[in-house]
Chain A
Amino acid sequence: MPEVNLSAHPVIELRDCVKTYGRVQAVNSISLQIPAEKTSVLIGPSGCGKSTLLRLVIGLIRPDSGHVYFEGNEVLPDVVFSLRRRMGYVIQEGGLFPHLSAGDNVTLMARYLKWNIVRIRKRLHELAEIARFPIDGLSRFPAQISGGQRQRVSLMRALMLDPDVLLLDEPLGALDPMIRADLQTDLKPIFQSLKKTVILVTHDMGEAAFFGDRIVLLRAGEIVQTGRLDEFFHTPADPFVTHFINAQRSPLNRIGRDMP
């Protein structure tokens, strides 16, 4: 295979992917390219297939037809374990292992790969600083820390092996608004400074606008529009785009606008 310049190519590419669960078509012939070092946001109402796309990328599920490529390699069962080590994955409730301390959650994979202990500790402390997680909290168990802290640990775990790609499936979805806002402001500079290719799944338009270099709006397993937020406002591809944006406007904004 010839040497390819990865930055010129999409890091992740889905080609004609179809995935059905029983009679429900979760993903209906989607083709999508994810550019390097940018944050792409997958957004849409519940059941639009956005989480399914993420799971296809990391190989947790296989498409019924079509192909998924990661850095030029097709995501297939025989290579999926090594490919996953170059992706970090964070899910809504964190998915932390309850039997391991926060620190052990973060370092599990590095220990499995037999990194030496000095390297592991150095990386762990580096990550705690990046994620603004207190060092003394590393010895606590998931049951002993708050939801927001759990998500920071989950992010550290995803970043441990310094992957090129971060996949975030509604990482802030279960948090209360204050903690959510804190975490949002902490996360954005992390994505930017680490130059990661990020795919973030959310159903919140505000969050999409805050993080997304590029937004992909999905409905019923199909892509409705791809682009920047202002393109969604000014050149909507479909009435659904405007409808989706308006439905997401904060009631506070509307009340504010109606006030004399």
Chain B
Amino acid sequence: MIAFARVVAMLLLCGVVAHGSISSVCGASPEVIIGSKTFTESVILGDVAAHLVQNAGTRAVHRRALGGTRLVWDALVKGYIDIYPEYTGTISEEILARKGIHGEDAIRKALAGYGIRMSASLGFSNNYALGMKKETAKKFDLFRISDLRSHPELIFGFSNEFMDRGDGWPGLRSRYGLPQRNVSGMDHDLAYRGIEGGFIHVTDLYTTDAEIGYYGLRTLEDDLHYFPVYTAVLLYRADLEERAPGVVAALKKLEGRISEPDMIKMNELAKIRKVPEAKVVADFLAERFSLKSAVAHETMTERVWRHTKEHLYLVSISLLAAILISIPLGIIAERKSGLGQIVLSIVSIIQTIPSLALLVFMIPLLGIGGPPAIAALFLYSLLPVVRNTYAGLRDIPPPVRESAEALGLPPWARLRLVELPLASREILAGIKTSAVINVGTATLGALIGAGGYGQLILTGIRLDDVSLILQGAIPAALLALFVQGVFELAELVVVPKGLRLKPLD
């Protein structure tokens, strides 16, 4: 038992150390938080905005690639972030969908109702379009979207967001009367690879995507004028004007300064030529704003180490909390059979919630970043420990249990001196399972801005950079193995020697 407490204390210490170093990485709480969506252009614009704010003398942090429109918008309205880049078409068609709000003035007025302001155009628009490989388009003689009507056999693969949003596939299909049946949703970046590999014929494009030129795609003309215009703007919280007037002034400097060719070029550098986003942004700022921002060059080791610390932080806090709660829950479950069934059912139900959904459920309660991810991981880690504690205690042979009782040990002493040590191996096995699941699931934390190895994997997918994906995936796998090894060693300390012996006869 003492040994067990020692291991728990060690884990606690790890958590604290990891936490300490994270805060030193992030610095004290920033004055302005900039968010971006999970595609490269949004990340680049977020980075540009962050540099301008920083340059105006306000501490700024950029939470990159937080999620889709709905998530980032909610984060802005709730105040988890202060600024993020958006497009007017998305605002009127998705954020304020079905309210019939069109035109800049109407949008500004509607946004004000949420306490949100909108900058003027940044200088370009990034519209939706449909595209396909030039050879395929030539073969079927396709130039306009209405030409697709006579080719129901074509396979469509759209970005997930496009599949559901009001200005996406459902509206497009009914406007044009498109007959295609083979239509599936996928990641936008993967859709390009699908087109290249010939698995899909048509996908949705953003007109500033560098891939249009790179993959040799033909953009089909929107001859029925279905797609609205998506002018790039910055959205920011109205309270920013009082809180940090300098910040708003800095943002205004960006209005009208990024042309469509500028944006396509930056996208191309980042996505096709694999120039680090930070450098793309720094070069742009140096050229247009004569702004010398030191590109924080990070070596691979530094990058992996930084994400390792973030990952350990998520895992250690959530796992430790789960252990401290689950063991008592398991004990209660074994002692009080009625209550026990309720406890076991609840933790089992939690386990059946898809991890992504659980992460998203946490956002309204805890915002974005570390806390909601830790809460979700904590909930995920409960079941194996609760169930194994319960089973470990239940499996103690009745004669042994009774002997402890007959000695005159009170219930708490029996638990501490006899029952928990006897169940220790099974409890530890539960913790081991939880830890490995936790390390794997923590990679999803990056989807809500919690960092960790998942950030590397997601960025790698976004930039089609296999090396970056591996920099996240390999350490994540190694960490899972390492954690498993640690708990196997812990078994030597925690599980009493008498339980690790082979019986004599």
Across the interface, name the chain B residue whose C-beta is closest to A91.
B399
In the complex, residue of chain A having the shortest beta-carbon distance to the beta carbon of B498 = A141
* Closest A residue by C-beta to B409: A112
Residue with the greatest number of chain B CB neighbours at <10 A, chosen from A80, A95, A146: A95
Are B407 and A93 within 8 A (Cβ)? no
Quick check: is A100 within 8 A (CB to CB) of the other chain?
A: yes
Interface 9-residue window, one of A6-14, A16-24, A33-41, A81-89: A81-89
Evaluate contact between B402 and A60: CB separation under 8 angstroms.
yes
Do A97 and B408 touch (CB < 8 A)?
no
Helix, strand, loop or mixed for chain B's interface?
helix
| A113→B418 CA distance, assembly (Å) | 15
Q: Does A46 sit at the interface, judged by CB under 8 A?
A: no
Mask: chain B, 381-403; 1 = CB below 8 Å from A; 0 = not = 00000000000000000011011
Q: Mark B180-214, 1 if CB is under 8 A from A, else 0.
A: 00000000000000000000000000000000000
A161 to chain B, nearest CB (A): 8
Q: How far is the CA of A94 from the CA of B505 in the complex (A)?
A: 15
A85 proximity list for chain B (CB < 8 A): 407-408
The answer to whether A84 touches B402, judged by C-beta atoms less than 8 angstroms apart, is no
Q: Are A144 and B408 in contact (CB under 8 A)?
A: no
Q: Find chain B residues with CB under 8 A from A147 CB.
A: 505
A163-183 contact mask (Cβ, 8 Å, vs B): 1 or 0? 000000000000000000000
Q: Please, how many angstroms separate the alpha-carbon atoms of A100 and B499 in the complex?
A: 9
Which one, B407, B501, B504, contacts A84 given CB within 8 A? B407
Instruction: Count how many chain B residues have C-beta atoms less than 8 Å from C-beta atoms of the other chain.
Output: 25
Q: Mark B295-309, 1 if CB is under 8 A from A, else 0.
A: 000000000000000
Q: Cα distance A58–B407 when bound, in Å?
A: 10
* Given A60-B405, A109-B409, A95-B400 contact (CB < 8 Å): yes
With the chains together, A82 CA to B407 CA distance in Å? Answer: 10
Contact A97 B403 (CB under 8 A): yes
State the total of A-B contacts with C-beta under 8 angstroms.
77
Partner of A143, one of B407, B410, B422, B502: B502
Which residues does chain B contribute within 8 Å of A144, judged by CB atoms?
501, 504
B497 to chain A, nearest CB (A): 7
Judged by a CB distance under 8 angstroms, whether B15 is at the interface is no
CB atoms of B403 and A96 under 8 A apart: yes
**Chain A, 141-155, contact with B by CB distance < 8 Å: what is the 0/1 string?**
111111100000000
Which residues of B, 489-505, contact A by the 8 Å Cβ criterion? 496-499, 501-505
Known A109-B409, A147-B505: A101·B402 in contact at CB below 8 Å = no
Instruction: Check: A66 CB closer than 8 A to any chain B CB.
Output: no
Least distance between B185 CB and chain A CB atoms (Å): 55
Structural contact, A141 and B417, CB atoms closer than 8 A? no
* Contacting pair A141 B405 (CB below 8 A): no
Given A99-B422, A108-B417, A147-B505, A142 and B406 touching (CB < 8 A)?
no
Give 20 A-B pairs besides A99-B421, A109-B408, A145-B504 with Cβ atoms closer than 8 angstroms.
Answer: A60-B406, A81-B409, A84-B405, A91-B403, A92-B399, A93-B399, A96-B400, A97-B404, A97-B422, A98-B422, A98-B499, A99-B418, A99-B497, A141-B497, A141-B501, A143-B498, A143-B502, A144-B501, A144-B504, A146-B505
For the complex of A and B, the 6 pairs showing the least CB-CB separation, nearest first, are: A95-B403, A84-B408, A99-B496, A141-B498, A89-B406, A95-B399
Q: List, sorted by A's number, 8 A–B pairs whose CB atoms are closer than 8 Å.
A: A58-B406, A60-B405, A84-B406, A99-B418, A99-B497, A108-B409, A109-B407, A147-B505
